[in-house]
A and B are shown apart, each in its own frame.
Chain A
């Protein structure tokens, strides 16, 4: 049975066979894209039909969204999260807010074309829903998320409450149904409910029909799973949600697990926003995988929930968390697809390399804050990563190459980023990088000198005002050079000259014997500010150096051994044989771009409207980025 008008004819009259009765029945329905595959199946037995036992599952719009890239996605903030001074009623708060709406099709065209004096009223017992009329149709309704012009085409962004007494529609909306195959409304939820949305059709004062749309609305965290891998307890972290019972509103899922790991400078509270945003995006790209958001300790030293000033200690956290991630991944049944953002990739790569995890089928590296050389051991070093003061000195004097003075059996040989994370096991790895990166952007020449003695407050302001631009390159090129440790970079090792050799000319330094450099490196292992435990790194030059290197390897790599290549997240991996794909998100997956996002220095190709920045996979509205999520859903076989 399908909607529309049907004609029923009686059997011929038994006394007068020439007479038959005829009645016209209008069949109506109210439809959603229940399986969120981008196609609304209108049949009564199709995959998008709802019932009391199989309701349409969706989330409450209780996060903060504004404009095209504003908001943190953290759920549970209540229905006033998007409040602004000019919002006196419900509203769509920019394109970023649209993902929290779902289209509903009022399939009544046949009725309106054949019957007069008909009115339609929406009712919902809990007043949990607000709605907005659109001119969309059941074949192009996904344009509410895929067409950048849709938001500006809205006559009004006001959303109207649906209560038990009902709410009607404008004449324009009726006309659009009759003549243009319209009938799509956008609905948002302000609180949990299982009370159905009811479409009541009236003719005059007579109620002709009540059509229910069965719903299950909850907080979004009741729809996806969570794994807490924090090394220590911190405010804002949430308990594991690993069982079906812990996610009572989880839609139908497949045997795939999609495991997402956030990046650096994300505390447990902020992780909830990352997880929720990524979940919602994959939902609308058709994913039916079980979604697991992983929270890990990536914001140690974070100031005012804004800027994490010490990257290096969180790199160590990533390495230390890898065994936990390994155990978690191995505990899951089904096929594992993993995605990580920024420093989350250090954690996943360590899980593959150091824990030997072999359970990851597909792995999406997004904006990976990992040096190319760590994955591609054949990658050549990049002169942009050398401070000018060191360019005339031989490589064997550099901290990055000190390992080469030792045999492979000595643990000091492992103080080396080259190939540190290059064992990708049997995993299909896709590198999603951005040529428009700002945080991971190349920085030729020496970093600004005023960074060396910068104060915490100054650094916070600098980061906030310029979205962390150039920070990754700066922290590598400032290793050993900072006035004190733990702010932006380090005060030991790296590019700090060993004062013991101050009197040597370049040629004299280049002539230093290997045996001398082993026990008294040309760079300075000690802390310039005398801070412990870093002065202890001088033990590397002693007879117990190998043991010390073995124990402290990851910490020393993070704060005292500079990387000599650019990061993966802003570049393709040079060796095409290593990864299954190298994709420039800015060049390939932008669907237009927010006008205010900046296009000052990285436009790639004519199609790109602006820079795809480090966290834009989450920050920029799905309308602009949906192609990336579609690609992940396809490549990961998540649908």
Chain B
């Protein structure tokens, strides 16, 4: 935008006049929405359950948007955990909610959200937040699957009925032909769909693995930090995928569940006795059919900490890149 000196005075005057009119209303807000003292007690623990001293704790609170401004801002109270891993933060403001964050060198940050709901009993919350150590982030095949393959197209006027199957190649980062150019089927999605009317719809998604020994298992991580009892670490998964507990099939009839995530094992090789001699491990953040997957390229290495700077899939579509560890 081009500037002219001559109009500066006029515009500033206009702004002040407008502000004063609204400021007058703001002083008349009901007391329930006014300033209140809150005190947040934050305890920080490591994955072994022991307290972590010296961690940086912050509590962000909303600052009401100034009249006629688009510039919403927040304030912040900071602290450091003591030898018991505890930091107590307090402030008086009109915020409706808090955002608590914990950071410490060598750990992934953890956050939690909190809402006061204008309830006097909710002014002094306590949190126990888990910090996960940064272990050994590795290169992985990682990609966002943002939409279903076209053969699962299910919109249109009823009746619509189909049972279609689509495979996916994790390393190639693509669907198996004819849906894409993938060559090795790691995982298979079977969608059964029957739409008799707009209110009579049958939907079933079956996730299967064509290879013996391959499978999937659910893990839960809070999608929204205000629901996270121990906070949400930037590393949502464990450091390592489980060695066992994989199911060869998973069925979903409703979805997605925002708290649901998965570990998986693919390309399993067994010996004559049925023992696993080789397998690739990975994880899925999110639920079907919109999720990010991460596959460790090294057989038998169950490490699933991803280094976002070392993605083995170079997607031309910037939208499909992932950045979470």
Chain A residues within CB distance 8 Å of chain B = 61-67, 69-71, 79-85, 87-91, 93, 97, 100, 130, 146, 159, 188, 190, 304, 306, 358, 377-378, 419, 422-429, 435, 443-445, 448-450, 454-455, 457-458, 460-462, 464-467, 469-470, 572, 574-584, 587-589, 596-607, 619, 627, 630-631, 634-635
Q: Could you tell me the distance in whole angstroms from the C-beta of A510 to the nearest C-beta in chain B?
A: 28
Q: Is the CB of B255 within 8 A of A574?
A: yes
Q: Is the CB of B153 within 8 A of A602?
A: no
Q: Nearest CB to that of B27 among chain A residues?
A: A461
Q: Could you tell me the distance in whole angstroms from the C-beta of B296 to the nearest C-beta in chain A?
A: 18
**How far, in angstroms, from A444 to B227 measured CA to CA in the complex?**
12
Q: Is the CB of B198 within 8 A of A419?
A: yes
**How far, in angstroms, from A589 to B319 measured CA to CA in the complex?**
7
**How far, in angstroms, from A454 to B285 measured CA to CA in the complex?**
44
Q: Residues of B contacting A159 with CB < 8 Å? A: 2
Q: Nearest CB to that of B110 among chain A residues?
A: A606
Q: Is the CB of B1 within 8 A of A100?
A: yes
- Given that A424-B198, A457-B25 are contacting pairs, would A85 and B8 also be in contact in the complex, using a CB cutoff of 8 Å? yes
Interface residues on B, range: 35 or more
Q: Is the CB of A601 within 8 A of B113?
A: yes
**How far, in angstroms, from A580 to B225 measured CA to CA in the complex?**
27
Q: Is the CB of B203 within 8 A of A577?
A: yes
A to B CB contacts below 8 Å, 29 in the list: A65-B1, A66-B71, A69-B72, A80-B1, A80-B2, A80-B4, A85-B8, A90-B2, A377-B198, A378-B201, A422-B199, A435-B224, A435-B258, A461-B22, A462-B33, A466-B64, A466-B65, A469-B96, A575-B203, A576-B205, A581-B290, A584-B290, A588-B290, A596-B73, A601-B224, A602-B225, A603-B232, A606-B235, A606-B324
Q: Nearest CB to that of A436 among chain B residues?
A: B224
Kindly list the 5 A-B residue pairs having the minimum CB-CB distance in the complex, ordered from nearest.
A577-B203, A465-B64, A82-B1, A601-B113, A606-B234
Q: Is the CB of B22 within 8 A of A627?
A: no
Q: Is the CB of B117 within 8 A of A583?
A: no
Q: Could you tell me the distance in whole angstroms from the C-beta of A385 to the nearest C-beta in chain B?
A: 15
Contact segment of B81-89, B154-162, B164-172, B270-278: B154-162
Out of B70, B98, B258, name the residue touching A70 (CB < 8 Å): B70
Q: Could you tell me the distance in whole angstroms from the C-beta of A509 to the nearest C-beta in chain B?
A: 28
Q: Could you tell me the distance in whole angstroms from the C-beta of B183 to the nearest C-beta in chain A?
A: 24
Q: Is the CB of A146 within 8 A of B318?
A: yes
Q: Is the CB of A603 within 8 A of B113?
A: yes
Q: Residues of A contacting B4 with CB < 8 Å? A: 79-80, 83
Q: Is the CB of B29 within 8 A of A603?
A: no
Out of B61, B65, B252, B318, name the residue touching A600 (CB < 8 Å): B61
**How far, in angstroms, from A88 to B8 measured CA to CA in the complex?**
9
Q: Residues of A contacting B225 with CB < 8 Å? A: 601-604
**How far, in angstroms, from A445 to B119 measured CA to CA in the complex?**
10
- Is the CB of B26 closer than 8 A to any CB of chain A? yes
Chain A binding surface SS class: loop
Give the contacts of B255-290 with A (CB-CB under 8 A): 255-256, 258, 285-286, 289-290
Q: Residues of A contacting B118 with CB < 8 Å? A: 448
Give the contacts of B197-237 with A (CB-CB under 8 A): 198-199, 201-203, 205, 223-226, 232-236
Q: Residues of A contacting B233 with CB < 8 Å? A: 606
Q: Could you tell me the distance in whole angstroms from the C-beta of B61 to the nearest C-beta in chain A?
A: 7
Q: Is the CB of B5 within 8 A of A599?
A: no
Q: Could you tell me the distance in whole angstroms from the C-beta of B101 to the nearest C-beta in chain A?
A: 8
Task: Taking A66-B71, A90-B2, A582-B290 as given, write out 12 further A-B residue pairs in contact, using a Cβ cutoff of 8 Å, ordered by the A residue number.
Answer: A66-B70, A427-B155, A469-B96, A577-B193, A598-B60, A599-B74, A600-B60, A601-B114, A602-B226, A603-B99, A605-B324, A607-B322
Q: Nearest CB to that of A453 among chain B residues?
A: B30
Q: Could you tell me the distance in whole angstroms from the C-beta of B257 to the nearest C-beta in chain A?
A: 9
Q: Residues of B contacting A460 with CB < 8 Å? A: 22, 25
Q: Could you tell me the distance in whole angstroms from the C-beta of B40 to the nearest C-beta in chain A?
A: 12
Q: Residues of A contacting B114 with CB < 8 Å? A: 601
**How far, in angstroms, from A583 to B119 measured CA to CA in the complex?**
33
- Is the CB of B195 closer than 8 A to any CB of chain A? yes
Q: Is the CB of B153 within 8 A of A604?
A: no
Most A CB within 10 A of own CB, among B60, B69, B118: B118
Out of A71, A458, A574, name the residue touching B254 (CB < 8 Å): A574
Q: Is the CB of A598 within 8 A of B319?
A: no
Q: Could you tell me the distance in whole angstroms from the C-beta of A582 to the nearest C-beta in chain B?
A: 6
Q: Is the CB of B74 within 8 A of A429?
A: no
